Amino acid sequence: MSGVTRTCGKEAKGGGLSLPVLAPKPRRSKAGPRRAAVLTLLYVVMIGHFLLWLRYGMTLSPIEPSESMSTLNRGEVNAGFVFFTLAILATLVFGRFVCGWGCHIVALQDLCGWAMKKARIRPKPMRTRLLVLAPLALALYMFVWPTFHREVLTPILSAAIGGVPAWLGDSGPRPEFRNAFMVQDFWATFPPWYIAVPFLAVCGFACVYFLGNKGFCTYGCPYGGFFGVADRFAPGRIIVNEDCEQCGHCTAACTSNVRVHEEVRDFGMVVDPGCMKCLDCVSVCPNHALRFGFTAPAAGSARVKRARHGRRTNYDLTLRAEIVLGILGVALFAGFRGMFDLVPMLMAMGLAGIGVFLAWKLGSMLVTQNVRLQNLQLRRRGRVTALGAVFVPVAALFLAAGVWGAVVQYHLRRALVLDSTVAVPATAYLAAGYTAGPGTASAAAAAIGHLERADAVAEGGYGWSLSPDLLLRLASLRAITGDFSGASRAMQRAIVARRPSDELRAYATQLFVRAGAALVEGNRLPEAVAAYRGASDLNPASGPLRAQYGLALLAAGGTAAGLAAIDDAIRLEPANPQWPLAKAGILDSLGRHEEAADVRRQAGGLGAGQK
């Protein structure tokens, strides 16, 4: 960059020599502190919004573009949807200024970029043809695909083949729009702090270091994907006059990775959709040749088309390499998203972008004599440096983690597809004597196999612990195949992982009781005891369930514990003579006849009282 930033386009002639004129030292941006103040104020407003909710228990819904998904999918018209809509409309007029002046993630990235600059680290962006399309692809997936699936794809496929293939998923019902501007659970759509902090670290420091300033905006932000498209139709742009001398100060000041001096030279304005109208370039121009103004939009401009036709752009990768890395990026995104049931979508996008960058550097180390990772030398003159020797295993481990996650996610996805073909109501498979048909049993067994492989290592799999919802499905699938011991274990894990609702408690109780009965019939008494204990623990005030648990304990040889459970049933239902009579019979079988007689007299008194 020194050759661009230190000399002007003019030459001075004297003494028969033509010498380049040294440009003045680049000035500090006047717009930078102003933007920092605006973005700091944004954080103050965000904190105030949160405190307002803590104080009153209700506040305006989060002003986040992601909230638009609730509007499109569930009809909940909220502040986030209104903000996102207005931001896109404003971008169609003024260009992509909302990102530069109104995004808290941009503020974080600017802070990280400033700190790295102070540490003399200047992250170099990765210039690609295809990977910059990732934000738009994610935006279409988040905001367009659900509606397209429901309103277009489902009707067409239903008419053509009778339904939508299971691997394409289901469409929810058409939403009925309603007011959702005020919320009580402000944090419902946000991750917990132990996810939010790593998310900010990934999308802030990590993305800036590996992918360059505004790295997350360039390669990961779905909202920016829409803003970038809208910017192409906006008349508001950075435009140039005849005073430009191509000194390059504008490009040096830009924190959005835009080659401003080339853009204004070729097009007379900045047409790069990555331009966030920060105005740094305007404020540092020594000749005041740049300004924000209104002109013809980039889309459809004849001048832009002519200039692009003869313009050559230097990319860091070949098209073939970009295609390979793009496929890898999709796999990494699928692997990181939802990993350990924790990683949110946008964090997965940032991790995938970093993974693509690391894969590029690893590949470069195989074919290039000198390779740098920003300010670190990884390979010099064909030899791997000490830092390179550390980088290779760390990068390989990072990529292996993403690929591992993708394999686990494949099994989870495949299990859900197979599960969707197993349409057996709980009233059927929890009834005594139920036997699944061959097709149902085969699909259920295959789904169970995929879930087992995706489960935690401690459970015999090679993934992470299944979520409560998946454990519930696993319990149901095992019950359908007649594996009531496995169904009981899966249900117990689900209940431990999530506090059961009334509906879940009722269903789990039915499954535990059915499992207990089936296991007693199969003479698998210890497992039957576990099943009945599960039902009793869910319903501690139920005398019959406590009695069934006690009878199972007695059958398994647990005399003292079984009698104690029967006593609990008597205590819970003191007016019911059934449990004292049952206890008396048990005591007789144990040879404790006097105790049995006393209990019978007590039961007889209860019966007389009832008469």
Confidence band for 40, pLDDT divided at 50, 70 and 90: very high
Helix (H, G, I), strand (E, B) or coil at 482: coil
The architecture CATH gives domain 540-611: Alpha Horseshoe (1.25)
Strand, coil or helix: 347 = helix
- pLDDT at position 579 is 85
* Vertex 251 angle, CA 249 and 254, to 5°: 110
Identical fold for domains 444-536 and 540-611, yes or no, is yes
Percentage with pLDDT > 90 across the chain: 71
Determine contact, residues 548/513, Cβ cutoff 8 Å: yes
The DSSP result for 86-134, as a single string, is: HHHHHHHHH-SHHHHHH-HHHHHHHHHHHHHHHTT--PPPPP-SSGGGH
pTM for this structure? 0.87
Q: What was the pLDDT predicted at 22?
A: 54
**Looking up tokens 């074919």, which residue turns up?**
367
Tell me what pLDDT residue 72 has: 92
The pLDDT of residue 7 is 47
Q: What is the pLDDT of residue 27?
A: 83
Q: What value does the mean pLDDT take over residues 287-297?
A: 94
Cβ atoms of 281 and 290 within 8 Å: the answer is yes
Average pLDDT score over residue span 19-42: 81
- End-to-end distance of the chain based on CA atoms, in angstroms? 101
Grade residue 2 by pLDDT with cuts at 50, 70 and 90. Answer: very low
Are the C-beta atoms of residues 406 and 331 closer than 8 Å to each other?
yes
User: How far apart are the C-alpha atoms of 426 and 28, rounded to whole Å?
Assistant: 69
Express each pLDDT in 201-238 by its tens digit. Answer: 998 899 999 999 999 999 999 999 999 999 999 999 99
| Assigned architecture for domain 444-536 | Alpha Horseshoe (1.25)
Over residues 424-472, the pLDDT tens digits come to 999 999 998 899 999 999 999 999 999 999 999 999 999 999 999 999 9
Q: What are the residue boundaries of the structural domains of the chain, listed by start?
A: 31-228, 319-416, 444-536, 540-611
SS3 498: coil
pLDDT at 226: 95
Amino acid at 213: N
Express each pLDDT in 554-596 by its tens digit: 989 888 999 999 999 999 988 888 888 888 888 888 888 888 8
How high is the mean pLDDT of the chain? 90
Q: Which letter does DSSP use for residue 187 in this model? A: T
Number of helices (H), then strands (E), belonging to the chain: the values are 30, 11
pLDDT band at 610 (very low <50, low <70, confident <90, very high): very low
